[in-house]
Amino acid sequence: MSYISYITTAGPSSPVTRRYTLAPKAQELRRRRSCTHAICLIVIHVKDLFFSYGQADFSLRIAELNINDGESVAVTGSSGSGKTTLLNLIAGIALPASGRIETNGVDVGSLSESDRRKFRISAIGLVFQEFELLEYLTVLDNILLPFRVSRALPLTPDVRDRALALADEVEIADKLARYPDQLSQGERQRAAVCRALITRPPLLLADEPTGNLDPANTDRVLDILFDYANREVATLVTVTHDHDLIDRFSTVIDFKQFHASGTAEQPAEAVPPT
C-alpha cells in the first residue's frame, strides 16, 4: 500500500485510525505527480470544526478529518445528519463557527467570499443530486457555465474543445444543442458531471449524484466520475445513501459518527468510526 489515507476523529474516546488503499492506476499516476512532500497528500484537512445553522436544532462537530489526494470517499449517513453540510463546508459554501478547514492546502475560512468563489470554481467540481442544470441553456452552454460566470476562468477555444471531448466521452455529443428538459435523467446527470469536470478540478464533491438515477445510469455516472478521478488523480468525495455502491470507494465515512442532534451551545461530540 503505497498511499494511505488517514481518517481521524477525536472525541471523548481515543483517536482511531483506519487505512484504505487507492486503485493501482491512481497510485501509478499519483507517483508521477511532482508533489512529494508528505503534507501534500492531504487534500482536505478538518480540525476542531464546529458548525450550526443559527437557531436550528442542528450542529456538527468534527475533531479531525483528513482526506488524501486521489482518494475516493463515500460519505454515508442518515438524512439530516450533515453530509451535505460537510460538502458545503469543504467547498467554502458554508463557513464553520469555529475550527479550521483546509482544502487543497487553502484555509477556506480565511478567504474572502469573492476569493472563496474563485477558489471553488477553479479547484472544485460540484455534482448535485438534482443535476441543477440551467433550463434556458443548451447542454453545451450548461457544460461551459463555469467559464461564463467567473473572470477566474477565461473561455477559450481549448475549453470548448474540451467540452466537446467530455460530451463525446459521456455520449451526449449529439445532444449539445438540446435543452435540459429534452434530455433523459441519465443524460442530464452526465451533462451536469461534464460541467463539474470541465475545469479539471483536483477535487470532486458529489452530493448523492446517483440519487435520481436508475441502476444502469447510476453505474454509468459513477464510472465517469471514477474514470476522471483515476485519470486526473483527483479526489472524489461523494455523499450517497446507496450501500451497494460503497464497495467502489476507497474510503467510507459513516457520517452519523460525526453528527448528533443537540443545541449549538451543547453540541454532541463526534464518535469515532467503527
Partner 1 sequence: MNDVLYLAWRYIAYHRIKTGILIASIMLIIYLPVGLNVLVDQSAQQLTARAGATPLLVGARGSPLELALNSLYFESDTPALTRYAEAERIGASELATPIPLYVRFRSRGQPIVGTTLDYFEFRGLSLAEGRMMATLGEAVIGATVAQRLSLGAGDAVVSSPETVFDLAGVYPLKMKITGVLAPNFSPDDEAIFVDVKTAWIMEGLGHGHQELASPEASSAVLSREGNRIVANASVVQYNEITEENIDSFHFHGDNAEFPLSAVMAVPVDQKSGVLLMGRYQGESDASQIIEPLSVIEELLGTVVSIQQFVVAAVVIVGLATVATAALVFMLSLRLRRREIDTMFKIGASRIHVSGTLVSEVIVVLVLAVLLAAVLTVLTSQYGTDLIENLILS
CB nearer to partner 1: pick between 8 and 150? 150
Q: Is residue 99 classed as helix, strand or coil in its secondary structure?
A: strand
Among 135, 158, 244, 247, interactor with partner 1 by CB under 8 A: 135
Q: Which three cell numbers stand for residue 127?
A: 455534482
Among 13, 53, 105, 149, interactor with partner 1 by CB under 8 A: 149
Is residue 114 involved in binding partner 1 (CB under 8 A)?
A: yes
Is residue 27 involved in binding partner 1 (CB under 8 A)?
A: no
Q: What is the DSSP string of 187-217?
A: HHHHHHHHHHHTT--SEEEEESTTTTS-HHH
Whole-number Å distance between alpha carbons of 147 and 155: 5
Among 50, 100, 141, 242, interactor with partner 1 by CB under 8 A: 141
Is residue 272 involved in binding partner 1 (CB under 8 A)?
A: no
Whole-number Å distance between alpha carbons of 103 and 89: 10
**DSSP at 130:** T
Is residue 225 involved in binding partner 1 (CB under 8 A)?
A: no
Q: Which three cell numbers stand for residue 234?
A: 483527483
How far apart are CB 163 and partner 1 at their closest, in Å? 15
Among 35, 97, 134, 165, interactor with partner 1 by CB under 8 A: 134
Piece of the chain touching partner 1 by CB under 8 A; list 59-67, 126-134, 247-255, 264-272: 126-134
Of residues 68 through 97, those in contact with partner 1 by CB under 8 A are: 88, 91, 93
CB nearer to partner 1: pick between 44 and 123? 123
Q: Which three cell numbers stand for residue 168?
A: 463525446
Residue 206 dihedral angles phi and psi, to the nearest 5°: -120, 125
What are the residues whose beta carbons fall under 8 Å from the beta carbon of 191, sequence distance 6 or more?
131, 133, 139, 142, 143, 167, 170, 172, 175, 180, 183
* Site mask for partner 1 (CB under 8 A), range 164-203, x = bound: ---------------x---------------x--------
Q: Is residue 96 classed as helix, strand or coil in its secondary structure?
A: coil
CB 188 within 8 A of CB 199: no
Count the site residues for partner 1 by CB under 8 A.
Answer: 32
How far apart are CB 243 and partner 1 at their closest, in Å? 27
Piece of the chain touching partner 1 by CB under 8 A; list 114-122, 166-174, 222-230, 266-274: 114-122
CB 145 within 8 A of CB 192: no
Where do the H-state alpha helices sit in the chain? 24-32, 83-91, 113-123, 139-143, 145-148, 157-169, 185-197, 215-232
**Which residue ranges make up the site for partner 1 (CB under 8 A)?**
88, 91, 93, 113-114, 116-122, 124, 126, 128, 132, 134-137, 141, 145-152, 155, 179, 195
